[in-house]
Structure 1
Amino acid sequence: MNSTVDVILVNRCNQNDEFRTVLSAKMCVRVLLILMLAAAAVLVVGAGVGAAATWYVDDDGGAEIDYMKIQDAVNAAEDGDTIYVYAGIYNECLIVCKSLILQGENREATIVDANGGNKGIEITANDCAISGFTIRNCLDTGIDISSSSNSNTITDNIIHSVTGGSNCDWDGIEVTISSYNVISNNKIFDCDDEGIELDGSSYNIVINNTIYSNTEVGIDVRGSLHNYIANNTIYSNGEPGISLGRSWSTEPVVWGSSHNTITFNVIYSNGDDGIGLKNSSNNNITNNNISNNQCGGIHLRNSSNNNITKNNISLNNDTGIDIAGSSSHNFITNNNVFDNYDEGVELELDGSHSYNYVTGNNIFNNSDDGIDLGAYSSYNFITDNNIFDNHDDGVDLDAYCSHNSITDNNIFDNHNDGVDITSSSNNALVGNTVSSNGDNGIQIKLSNNNRIYHNNFLNNADQADDNGNNFWDNGYPSGGNYWSDHTCTDNPSDGSQPYTIDGGAGAVDHYPFESMNGWLTTPQKGDLDDDGILTPADAAIALAIAASGAQNPAADVSGDGSVTSLDALMILQAAENTHASGTEIAYGDGSAEGGWSMGHGDGTCSDDGGNWGYAIRMTTPDSEPFTITAIKLFSRRYGEDCNTRFEIWGQDRNTLYSDIVSHSEYSAAVDSFDSVTWGYKEVPDVVVSGDFYIAMYTDSSDPSDEIYPDTGVYVGYDTSFSSDRSYTTQGKTLTWDLSTPQETTNWMIRAVGMK
């Protein structure tokens, strides 16, 4: 016999009056639980209802125990009561038809053994909480939340061995037409069907569960909306880890699921896809780790408007992300898709896919293509991806793909072609860098009317091959592509130095570029002195060209194939009418007002970095309103690529516009005086009138030296450069010092727009 201690209790469980009893020390823990559980019970009691009772269940019985069976306590309890169940094996199936808290002492040792009964715990009331149990040996369902029940909490339970029944569900937890439930921190395994099934149920939260070794799906969501599924570990299930929208073989209808969020789950080694969607739309699938599944990582069929972003998808036995059937308007963005045993991203051959966006992904080392657009895929956007080291093509367009846009991708080191287009027409490939691929940079077979321009083709085994009728440039002055194995002059060249495409079809890039990304600084037609605007000086140059009989496509503004006095006249008229309504005009040559404060002793920055910038004052004629659409500047970079902050100020130096972009985004000029050129930074329409300012500075990567920082930008004035006019900063707070305006300095910065 253990030592004893006197404790006075109020026992509401047996409905008797107050009594005094003596408890063994072994039971002191139970006394403490009274206070904690009574406080918890209050949370489920509505206003105006009497104090909740706590009932105690122990299969071994005892003086202070109310019941030896859990169901007996449930039957006796009222809404809001708590039933505390001590460790033991309870051979029963429970029906909870009241708003109760069922709390097990220890989920490893407090066991509800259905012993071959159908359901371990069936909940038919609202606002129930089930926690701290093992539920096992059920023929149908471990915990069943029925259609008459909402707002329940199922947490910290172990559910396993749901098996053997005929025409049963065999789910660990099944939620049917029920909402606002929380299912968390449960361990669910060895069920003959799903680990968790949400059927026609919405606004549920399923978090922090471990779900494994179930015969079918880890979490199955059918006909359900607005559920939040997060931070679960789901592995070694026989079918998909998570499925949205699924039909049974006996059901002709697919119950799609929409507006669900699936995030931060770890899903691996399942017998089908990691995540599968069927007839499901407007779901967010983000930040999941999906690996080593027997089929694909994420599979969509007949599903649209889904957002799949920031997932890590690797080592799956099929495609990383597979879009099948008729699926459209899906956004596949910022994922890492690598080491999968088929394609990285695939739009399958069995449907019509349109308006899908594959953007900003890293897709590498997959066993087949990086991105594969299957037959009849159209109007899709493949942009800003890094696609490399895939074992077949970087991007592959199969038969009858049309009107797809493949832009601004970095496609390199793929084992076969960088881009392969077969029997597909009217696609656009623009702004890509295609380099060091094992076969062709781009191969086009049996395809017509594709447009390929403003791409960099670098050091591919064969740069390009085309046996169809396609366009390899965008005319002059827009130009064609840059080819690392071709020498030409100017950006673009003038048509006298074309690049011939292999393949026997006579394909030609008529206007290749001298420099990589040379199209970023393409001059305005007729701007013959390269100052960014049309002036009478340009007309004079055109007239001289006409008199000499020379050819210059930039001077041929009439487009008749030759330079004549008509072209000079057209340039002169354009220069005189720059202020006409609807005509693009450029303001510039404004005086510079001072520079950035250096920050010594004024608290604006430390002494370990120099801060220089420009505030250029400009004035619109007669103070008329002017809409700025771009900023042009004559500049070059020194050191590594760095960010530039552009600002537009009003008359009172109030900020009207502010943005940060890298120098390489608005200029191709690198660390050489010879490469200085005009850059072009688009801005959303900014309306100014009278005096206004363009302000700018750089964000240096490591400006450790105040006088000679590691990186920055030179801006031209009077067509020259000087190191004391460079500027850089470490992104610290800066202040303007406008006390010494440089009124006579002609800075080569322009505000371009429409009057």
Structure 2
Amino acid sequence: MNNKNLSNIALATIIAASILVVVAVAENDIPTPPGQPHSSIIPIGHNLCDMIADPARPYLYVSDSTDNAVLVVNTETDMIEKSIWVGSKPTDMSINSDNSTLYVVLSGAPGSIAVVDLENQTKADTIIHTSYEPRSIEAMKPGRLHLLRQYNNYVSWRKLLIVNMENDTELDTDITAFDIEITRDGNTLYLCDSESSTAAGIKKYNITTDTPALVKEVSSGTSSGEKIKLSPDESRIYVQSRGEVPIFSTSSLDQVGTLDPESQGVVDVTLCPGGKVAYVATSYEEQYEYANRESNIYVFNTSTFTRERLWSASGHIKYDEYGWSKGSILETSSDGDKLYVFVGSGYDYDIEVFGASTKGDLNFDGVLTPADAAIALELAARGDWDPAADVDCDWRVTSVDALIILQAAAGAP
């Protein structure tokens, strides 16, 4: 919902609804907003390895290595609309810079990468073959695939491999990494080094040519660094370590902050499309399920680095003990209204969805009404915050948010 100028037709309706809201607040006849948002389960029960939101379409793509398929989830209905067979045991995925193509690593067919046409949601006849076994993939640079391939027979030790799709050649490098991210213009690569014995290294490379040039490197300051995540505006790098998430400036590689859930077992971090909210998931090795460990999601304000919410998952959040796949365990919808997380155990995972189907639906009845605006006003009066009520995404819940909800409830443009 956008905060547009209210039309004359809707204005009278909104004023009347506002009066009802004020009366409801005065009478204190308002349900208390939940500390944890509504959640639901998309039942799948398969070995799910990665998920990625389509920036241009209301879809979430999920690699299902049980059915050898990519599942297409409609993020407006949270229904699986399609299952696209891609090949043996799909794991990590990446969407290219123009959002036309999805590339899928096939771990059951070493050296093979499937190609999916996102416009038609069909698997292309082309299979990309490499000389090595890829683990992670980035497809942001046009005409190139940047892969992390396994070496030394240890799944967490990886080297950068560059595939030129224009002439079917590849360049194997000596650059070691545990995870990589590439900017949207395809010119800069960031990585977390996998081979430091004392601290994970963060490195920045210029990749305007097929010979990556090191620009700068720093220590992450943590004993381990695993996944990294670029902020939506590409100004920051978030580094997932086991106990916290240090944050670095992409321009200087100086550390600018830390997200500390005050809990061991950080397994993934993701950000809402606006970059103002970060979600940090914690989990544990399944054999230690009863050792006072929990599967939680921590909600952070990325401006202040403060923890705003603690959400409990309905089950065990996926934990990849051996780092076999660097696929996302957490992902937001492209509009930022929902958070998706893998929950389950072993090779049996479902997707838990946090958030209302419609932002602003604070009583979760599936429709926007003045009652939702009343809840927003109650939050504003208490100085409290809730992501579903913060419809203008300014990390505050105010009367403006309530008015936007009323506008939508009245059907105003």
Q: TM-score, normalised by structure 2?
A: 0.33
Higher RCO (CA-CA < 8 Å; seq separation 6+): 2
Report the structure, 1 or 2, having the larger strand content.
Answer: 2
